[in-house]
Structures are given as C-alpha cells and as structure tokens.
Chain A
Amino acid sequence: KQEVTQIPAALSVPEGENLVLNCSFTDSAIYNLQWFRQDPGKGLTSLLLIQSSQREQTSGRLNASLDKSSGRSTLYIAASQPGDSATYLCAVWGGGADGLTFGKGTHLIIQP
C-alpha cells in the first residue's frame, strides 16, 4: 500500500526566504506526482505536476523535483511572500483505477 510522508508538518519563516518542502513515498511505481496548495476551508489548487519520466517542473517561483527511484520529491519556493501562506500537499498517482494518495501536508506561514 502506497504511503506518502511530508516533512516538515509545519514551517514558519520570514518573508523573502527560500524554502524547501519534502515529500517521500514508499512505492516507486508511480505514474505522476502532484503538488497542491490548500487555503483554509478551501479546495485544492494544482501547483505542479511531474510525470514519472521527468526530473523537475518549474512554475514561476516554484520548482518541484522528483527522484522516483528513491521515492522523493521536493518543492522549492523562492523569495517567499506572505501570500504563499497555505498548506502544501503532495500526492502520487499509481495509474489505472487508483485515485491519488496524499501526504498530510506542510502548513506554511510566511511572516511579513
């Protein structure tokens, strides 16, 4: 059974810092990995999708990497801003009839 772990569970940093969120998964047989953002009481917004054959994806100040063989992904946020405050979720898809398997998320606070 696939399990996804996110470290740290919570993170509070001053505005302007670069930061890294970590995600690990136990079964490397994945089709893709997605990073999502969730604001309190809201749905999930897709940030980045990495296919199993890819090593990284970039969108603006966000960069996600994938090391499928070691079961790890990182989300790098450059020059953090207070508007980046949210919970960040990592999820993997095994393909076929599976849904996504999620981690518990990293609750991020960027201090002005």
Chain B
Amino acid sequence: ETGVTQTPRHLVMGMTNKKSLKCEQHLGHNAMYWYKQSAKKPLELMFVYSLEERVENNSVPSRFSPECPNSSHLFLHLHTLQPEDSALYLCASSQRSGSGEAFFGQGTRLTVV
C-alpha cells in the first residue's frame, strides 16, 4: 500500500465517548500533520510532528490529543468532544528537506452527536 492512509473513514461518536483516529504513511517522510476542515473555513493546521516530536499545536483544545509513536504512524485521540468539533480530519505527511511536497490521506469524517 502506498501514500497516506487514514482510518476510519467515517466516525460517529457521542460527547462522552473516547475514540482515536489513525494515520499511516508509506512514503518515508519525516513529518506528519493533522488538519481540520470545517464547512466554509480554510483547512486549519492542528498538530505538526517532525522526527516524531511535536513542534506545534496551534492552541488546539486539550480534548484533542495527538500521538506519534514512530515516523510512519500518527494518531489523534478524541475525548469529550463537542458538536462543533464535527468536521473532516485530514492527515498529511511531507519530507522537511527537498521539495517539501505534502501528501494527504482521504480523511475521517467525524460527527459528534
């Protein structure tokens, strides 16, 4: 399998649930990202991991918790979310040197009820 893979593709969760989103990249990149895409708004950067260390979190609420166990895998742990957190969550990877071209996964459509 190639590229960036995200699971699950769709997720419905209650406000008291705990769930996790998973991202895996098969491109040998050394940086991974979480973005949030809400209706009528530009994609928003949530977290950046470079060489498995978090370098930026952009003041994201603590109910979102990222984890990067190795350079190929990225998780976003979710707990006590709000309905306004419903959105498309996109994972991306890039090589910080060279062209820096970013590649995205297909996203997880999250609905909080």
Q: Which residues of A contact B (CB under 8 A)?
A: 4, 31-32, 34, 36, 41-46, 49, 51, 89, 91, 93, 95, 97-105
Contacts and interface: CB of A to CB of B under 8 A. Distances in A.
Nearest to A4: B42
Given A97-B56, A100-B33, 11 more contacts: A32-B100, A42-B106, A43-B106, A46-B101, A46-B102, A49-B99, A89-B43, A99-B35, A100-B92, A102-B42, A103-B42
Contacts of B50: 97
What is the predominant secondary structure among interface residues of chain A facing chain B? Answer: strand
Contacts of A4: 42
24 contacts: A4-B42, A31-B100, A34-B101, A43-B105, A43-B106, A44-B90, A51-B99, A89-B43, A91-B43, A93-B102, A95-B100, A97-B50, A97-B56, A98-B48, A98-B56, A99-B35, A99-B56, A100-B33, A100-B45, A100-B102, A103-B42, A104-B40, A104-B41, A104-B42
Given A51-B99, A99-B56, A42 B107 contact: yes
A16 B80 CA distance: 50
Contacts of B109: 41
B75 interface: no
Contacts of B64: none
Contacts of A100: 33, 35, 43, 45, 92, 102
A107 B4 CA distance: 24
